């Protein structure tokens, strides 16, 4: 059971203040009866809650896949720069949205946005051992010896130890697939730096077994299904 104003805010994507106003102005009904009590306890799974006669569908959390563009911050908000949450707000105007992990400003590809803190923590925790796969465009070809070093795990100049990565040469000479289970600051760029290779482009294409939706153009997004979410853990 939850307070009516909290549930209305969640179901409409508005703020708690907006929800209180709706309730107090008699716009909200519970099981067909107008409620003017913002603190009324309701069960969103069984009670019929409507605003202006329109029944609402309750979602405790939302999960969104976005094909992140270059130049956009992986952050919830920023005073001067556009963020990934700004991109999805028109269709998901909920409080508390945040990106699950961070892609660098110039890194593109698969990013999940949600308001489920527990989910986000589990996905980015190194203990979960969830793979994140990237397509990496290099400034020069990689050698078999370079791959061997990266797949053994490397120690960065500052002493940071990085777990072994999976590295696979693609059909393009200067493009490799690189898979890691951590999310250290600039981890892939710094790991490649150990073997003297620079990164020109970086795109995340997979989290667990959830792959980037190729139907999403850069900057586009969609809500994840239950099946999508299950793939994150596989």
Number of helical H runs and strand E runs in the chain: 7, 17
Task: Name 91's Cβ contacts closer than 8 Å, sequence gap at least 6.
Answer: 221
89 alpha carbon, distance to own chain's centre: 14
- Tell me the C-alpha distance between 129 and 107, whole Å: 22
- The answer to whether the CB of 181 falls within 8 A of the CB of 206 is no
- 106-115 as b/e, with b when 16 or more CB fall inside 10 Å? ebbbbbbbbb
The residue written with tokens 């790991």 in the block is: 191
Q: Is 139 in the active site? A: no
Distances 129 to 46, 141, 176, 183, 206 between C-alpha atoms, Å: 37, 29, 21, 11, 14
The catalytic residue among 18, 47, 86, 104 is: 104
Torsion angle of C-alpha atoms 139, 140, 145, 151, degrees rounded to 10: 30
**Tokens representing residue 162 in the block:** 């990085």
SS3 5: helix
Catalytic residues: 104
């Amino acid at each position: 059971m939850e307070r009516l104003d909290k549930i209305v805010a969640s179901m409409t994507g508005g703020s708690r203040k907006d929800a209180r106003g709706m309730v107090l102005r008699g716009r909200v009904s519970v099981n067909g009866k107008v409620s003017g009590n913002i603190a009324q306890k309701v069960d969103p799974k069984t009670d019929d809650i409507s605003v202006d006669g329109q029944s609402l569908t309750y979602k405790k959390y939302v999960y969104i896949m976005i094909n992140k563009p270059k130049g956009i911050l992986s952050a919830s908000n920023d005073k001067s720069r556009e963020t990934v949450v700004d991109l999805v707000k028109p269709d998901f105007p909920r409080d508390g949205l945040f990106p699950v992990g961070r892609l660098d400003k110039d890194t593109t590809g698969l990013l999940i946005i949600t308001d489920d803190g527990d989910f986000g923590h589990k996905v980015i925790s190194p203990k979960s051992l969830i793979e994140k796969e990237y397509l990496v465009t290099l400034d020069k070809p990689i050698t078999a010896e370079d791959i061997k070093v990266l797949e053994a795990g490397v120690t960065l100049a500052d002493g940071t130890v990085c777990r072994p990565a999976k590295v696979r040469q693609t059909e393009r000479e200067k493009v490799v697939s690189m898979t890691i289970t951590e999310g250290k600051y600039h981890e892939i760029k710094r790991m490649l730096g150990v073997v003297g290779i620079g990164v020109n482009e970086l795109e995340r294409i997979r989290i667990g077994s959830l792959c980037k939706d190729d139907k999403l153009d850069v900057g586009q997004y969609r809500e994840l299904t239950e099946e999508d979410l299950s793939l994150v853990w596989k």
